[in-house]
Amino acid sequence: MKIPAPEAPRAGETARDRTTAGLSMPAPRSGPAGAAAPTQGMTRRQASAIRTREILIETGLRLAETTSLAELSINLLVEEAGVAKGSFFHHFGERSAYLLALHREFHDRIFAELLDAVDGMVAGAERLLTASHTYLDACIRDRGVRALLLEARAERKIVDEIRARNKATAEFFKADFQAMDVPYPYESALLWIGLVVEAALIELDAGVRQPAIRAAIARFLAPVASNATRSRA
């Protein structure tokens, strides 16, 4: 499913986006990490179905910390979740759809953290650097999930999801490059995304934060911000 690109904040805008729905990494559908989805106005059966789906997702995220993609079978999942196998197929239909749901939930939660981190910041290099560090910290904290989802990138649905997310995320952070008077702000945002994702892969491989890699990201952004300051002088 293609995620509609968000309306990016204007240069210098400090408020977070009006809504996180529709962003490249939308806010978690279940609210803050681990929170249950609201069930007001639902029948008991509907509420139970939503909770079962949440349990399956949460179980998958937990298992990802110790289980490879090959080991994450439907049988293991439903056994650990304590739900019937039929419930899995009712909610997801097939394993690839479930992996896509895990991918979305993981990145939804990261982007919710990212939005909190940059809330109130003026568009520009500092906001980009804060976003970079927030993403990297989340990936290294949940490196088991990240590693499993990297294995799952062979799934066509996930490849399409990544492409859509990157495009929409570039639209969102384009405003930061516009604020620095950078030519081709959308393309620059795409390159920045690629840089940060590659940094996350390096840290994932190392298993710990890599200060030099993070310093390199700051150095990458510093000349851009410096040039923008000189051009406005």
- Cα angle value 66/103/196 (rounded, 5°): 95
In a domain, 73, yes or no: no
| pLDDT at residue 206 in the model | 94
- Domain that includes residue 143, residue range: 95-232
How much is the pLDDT for 38? 59
pLDDT at residue number 114: 93
* pLDDT at residue 233, rounded to an integer: 46
Cβ contact 45:125 at 8 Å: no
Does residue 111 form part of some domain? Answer: yes
CA 91 – CA 57 distance, rounded (Å): 11
60 occurs within a structural domain: no
8 in a structural domain: no
C-beta separation of 34 from 66 below 8 A: no
Residue 138 in domain: yes
Q: How many domains does the chain have?
A: 1
Q: What is residue 207's predicted lDDT score, i.e. its pLDDT?
A: 92
Distance CA 32, CA 112 (A): 8
Residue 57, in any domain of the structure: no
Confidence (pLDDT) at 28: 33
Average model confidence (pLDDT) across the chain: 82
Distances from the Cα of 89 to the Cα of 30, 82, 98, 149, 211, angstroms: 20, 14, 9, 20, 44
Q: Is residue 110 part of a domain?
A: yes
Kindly state whether residue 117 falls inside one of the protein's structural domains.
yes
C-alpha–C-alpha distance, residues 123 and 188, integer Å: 14
Tokens 């998958």: give the residue. 60
Task: Tell me how long the chain is.
Answer: 233
CATH number of the domain bearing residue 197: 1.10.357
- pLDDT confidence of 6, banded at 50, 70, 90? very low
pTM of the model: 0.76
pLDDT at 45: 83
pLDDT category at 20 given cuts 50, 70, 90 is: very low
Cβ burial of 136 (10 Å; 0-12, 13-18, 19+) is: buried
